[in-house]
Structures are given as C-alpha cells and as structure tokens.
C-alpha cells in the first residue's frame, strides 16, 4: 500500500469521460472477458494459470538440465530395461508418476501457449475491426480522391505531350538558317 498522494485526484479524470466512451470500453471489456473465460473453460485452465505457467517456465528454463529422455538418439527400450533393472516395482511406479507429471506439465504449458496466442489473435482481430470502423466514414472521400488523382494524371500527361520536345522533323527544319523576317529567303553567312 502506498501512502503517497496523487497530485491530481482521479475523480476529475473519470468526470471527463463521456457515456459513449464508457459504453465502448465496457463492451470491449465484456467481450474480452467472455473470450478469455471461454478459452479457460475449453483448456481447463485456472484464472491465473497462464501467468503462473509462463513465469514458472522462465524460471525452469535457466535451471533445468536436459533429461535423458530429451537427448538425441534416445532409445525407449533400453531406458525401460534400465529402469526395470535398477528400480523395483515401487521405483518404477515413482518414475512413471514423474513422467506423467512432466507430461501434464508440458501439456499445460502447451495449452497456455495456445491460449496466449489465441488471446493475441483475438486482440489483433478487434484492433482491425476498430480500424475498419474508423475508416468507414472516410471511404466516400477516398473514392472521390482516386477519381481526382486520375484526372490530374490525365491532365499532366496531356500537358507533357503538348509541351514535349519537338520531334526530329521540326528540329531539322530549324537548322536551315531560316529567319522569320526573311520570309523563305535563305541567309548565307
């Protein structure tokens, strides 16, 4: 608990909100909560499981050594034979219980990873939907804008064609030393 007072009261911030902002925020929050609850139900996760699993995975990654089961070229038959020779029935059941626990842990991590990524996908979809909603009023403007740009391009092409560099015939006639005041008479220098 903090005893430091805020320089601005939080009441003034909430009084500036309009009811439309509140309704939009509430609807988005309800939708997000509903989506997350549906995913938790589907994957049988607890409410705080995704953050706990991800925090635990970060701690375990640094301290966990590679298991014999994870090594490349693992031979399952030799492993089982070795466990049966080393351990009695109670030891085999303990190893089996440990392996089942690891499998469940990995399965939970996989489910949490899918849950997190699916939540991000839902958030991205909501963002795209909001962007489209914000762009819909601008659609008529952009359609007129493209027609105006096409007209400008046509006008620019016509002007550049009209004011183009004279072709070879016009350029050749300019080299015969004729002068406009001579009216067809050639000037010899």
For the stretch 64-110, pLDDT in tens is 556 777 788 888 888 888 888 888 888 889 989 998 999 999 999 99
The residue ranking higher by pLDDT, 179 or 93, is 93
**Is residue 6 a part of any domain in this protein?**
no
**Is residue 4 a part of any domain in this protein?**
no
The mean per-residue pLDDT over the stretch 121-136 comes to 91
* Confidence band for 125, pLDDT divided at 50, 70 and 90: very high
Contact 114, 106 (CB under 8 A): no
**Is residue 34 a part of any domain in this protein?**
yes
For residue 6, pLDDT beyond 90: no
For residue 184, pLDDT beyond 60: no
Q: In this prediction, what percent of the chain has a pLDDT beyond 70?
A: 60
Q: What is the pLDDT of residues 27-77, one digit of tens each?
A: 666 777 777 777 777 776 765 544 444 444 444 444 455 677 778 888 888
Number of domains in the chain: 1
**Is residue 100 a part of any domain in this protein?**
yes
**pTM metric for this prediction:** 0.37
The residue ranking higher by pLDDT, 25 or 144, is 144
For residue 156, pLDDT beyond 90: yes
Dist CA 16 CA 19 (whole Å): 10
**Is residue 176 a part of any domain in this protein?**
no
Dist CA 78 CA 104 (whole Å): 24
Tokens of 104: 């469940």
Count of Cβ atoms closer than 10 Å to residue 39 Cβ? 18
pLDDT of residue 28: 63
pLDDT of residue 122: 92
**Is residue 162 a part of any domain in this protein?**
no
Helices (H), the chain: 10-15, 19-43, 49-63, 76-86, 89-135, 139-162, 168-173
* Confidence band for 165, pLDDT divided at 50, 70 and 90: low
pLDDT of residue 121: 92
pLDDT of residue 152: 95
State how far Cα 54 lies from the chain centre: 21
**Is residue 84 a part of any domain in this protein?**
yes
The residue ranking higher by pLDDT, 19 or 151, is 151
Q: Domain of 50?
A: 21-61+74-126
**Is residue 31 a part of any domain in this protein?**
yes
């Amino acid at each position: 608990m903090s005893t430091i007072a805020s320089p601005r009261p939080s009441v003034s911030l909430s009084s500036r909100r309009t009811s439309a902002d509140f309704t939009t925020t509430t609807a988005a929050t309800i939708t997000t909560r509903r989506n997350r609850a549906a995913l938790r139900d589907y994957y049988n996760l607890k409410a705080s499981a995704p953050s706990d699993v991800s925090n635990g995975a970060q701690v375990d990654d640094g301290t966990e050594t590679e298991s014999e089961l994870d090594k490349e070229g693992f031979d399952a038959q030799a492993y089982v034979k070795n466990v049966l020779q080393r351990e009695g029935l109670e030891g085999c059941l303990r190893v089996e219980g440990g392996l089942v626990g690891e499998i469940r842990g990995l399965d939970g991590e996989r489910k949490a990873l899918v849950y997190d990524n699916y939540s991000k996908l839902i958030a991205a979809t909501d963002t795209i939907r909001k962007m489209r909603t914000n762009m819909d009023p601008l659609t008529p403007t952009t359609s007129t804008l493209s027609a105006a740009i096409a007209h400008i391009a046509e006008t620019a092409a016509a002007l550049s064609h009209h004011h183009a560099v004279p072709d070879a015939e016009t350029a050749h006639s300019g080299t015969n030393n004729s002068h406009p005041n001579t009216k067809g008479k050639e000037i010899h220098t």
